[in-house]
Amino acid sequence: MVDAARVLRNLEELRALTADESGAQRVAWSPMWLKAREWFAEKLKTLPVEDHYDAAGNHWVTLKGASERVLVVGSHLDSVPNGGWLDGCLGVLAGLEVLTNFVETCNGQPPVTVKLVDWADEEGARFGRSLFGSAAFAGKATIAADRGRTDREGVTLEAALAACGVDVERVGEAVVEQKNLAAYIELHIEQGPILERMGKPLAVVQGTKGVERWAITFRGQEAHSGSTPMEVRRDALAAAAKLALEIRPIARRHPQAVATMGSVKTFPGIVTAVVGRCETTLDMRDLDAEVLAGMLREAQAASERFAQEEGCTVEWAKIWSIEPIPFSPELIALCEEAIVETVGVSERLPSGPLHDAAEVARLGVPTVMMFVQSLKGLSHNAAEDTRREHLEQAVEAFGRLSEKTMQWIGKS
């Protein structure tokens, strides 16, 4: 059995060591992050494991099993500035407990090799590159772009990596860690309000939502606000405003879809002029690729219609997109079993935010995540919290999932 109380003690120890009154300060590539990693390495000393850092700075801890096939358990110790005490480190410390449990119950040698990974720079908080370590591991390193990245103080990513012993030119070599991977599992806080609203402690994550992110520009005619009659105006903001309202029913037609117009800029943007140009952004997400593509088509058609109604034109330019990444149906079923055996009831949720698990799943490695309820849906700040009872249940259910996954690898 895993010892959930030990995980909580470790979480509190890490918080005392790496947080101040504003929250967790374990920003990747910073001295405090290195301190957290040193503290973690110290915890490994009593276990019969080997550990090393790969070319992208990911920390791998290996417990050799009878078979070379590998069950990977992972998450991240890094945080955003003024972050929460659970985001990422819950998964790493629950993973440490899983490893310890296998040592104790399998006489030091489980049937399958178990690896625990602490991914480097999941948050991308300082250099704007999220999932840095897991993307490099998955063969998606962006070295050309990484060379040019700097933080707000003008420090280059290259220099920050070098200070941590990582060579920016070689991060792609982390792909060697893919060898013999049979499954990946990760425990994480939900970071949203859904489980609390349902009154459920735990959920299986079905996958990460696909994202369509676009810049949409409406063009009309700048005109004097006093002399231009209402019926002849070509008001670009009016067309954009209609779209901002229309994306809500477009998303609401699908139970898990979301759509957000997060930025609106008007030109000339003065109180005495009709808006001639309006630049907006749209971010849409869903777990189903067809639903997402349909939402995009509907939003585009609506924007054309509103542009025409207001005597404007509209242009769409893609900012970024990623396809939905579904997790393994078999591991989803095992995760659901583990949750039901622990708390009697489960839920299936997609993840809106991306996670390291998505990079692993994209490689075709069977993957699943477990979410534990977040209080008030808050994360990425000092108010982030989860009931103690729910954390204990999460570690217990995650322990069960690790054992089930181990057996599943043995059979498959």
Residues that bind Zn ion (CB under 5 A): 87-88
Is residue 108 within 8 Å of residue 114, measured between CB atoms?
Answer: no
CB of 188 to Zn ion, least distance (A): 6
**CB-wise, 87 or 121, nearer to Zn ion?**
87
Nearer to Zn ion, 72 or 409 (CB): 72
Least distance (Å) between residue 159 CB and Zn ion: 25
Considering the complex, what minimum distance in angstroms separates the CB of residue 211 from Zn ion?
17
DSSP 120: S
Q: By C-beta, is 24 or 241 nearer to Zn ion?
A: 24
**Cα 189 from Cα 73, distance rounded (Å):** 15
CB of 88 to Zn ion, least distance (A): 4
Residue 359 beta carbon to Zn ion: minimum distance, rounded to whole angstroms: 13
Q: Which is nearer to Zn ion, 74 or 88 (CB)?
A: 88
Q: Which CB, 87 or 196, lies closer to Zn ion?
A: 87
Q: Locate tokens 């049937």: which residue?
A: 111
Cβ atoms within 10 Å of 57's Cβ, excluding its own: 23
Strand-strand pairing, 210-219 and 277-286: antiparallel
Q: Read out DSSP for 320-368?
A: EEE--EEPPHHHHHHHHHHHHHHHS---EEEESS--HHHHHHHTT--EE
Write out the E strands in 91-148. 112-118
Nearest approach, Cβ of 153 to Zn ion (angstroms)?
24
CB of 212 to Zn ion, least distance (A): 23
Nearer to Zn ion, 87 or 286 (CB): 87
Coil/strand/helix, residue 316: strand
Q: Which is nearer to Zn ion, 32 or 250 (CB)?
A: 32
What is the maximum span of the chain, computed from C-alpha positions, in angstroms?
A: 86
Measured from each CB, the residue nearest to Zn ion is 88
Alpha-carbon gap, residue 125 to 132, rounded angstroms:
11
Strands (E), 33-160: 50-53, 59-63, 67-75, 112-118
Residue 16, Cβ density class (10 Å: 0-12 exposed, 13-18 middle, ≥19 buried): exposed
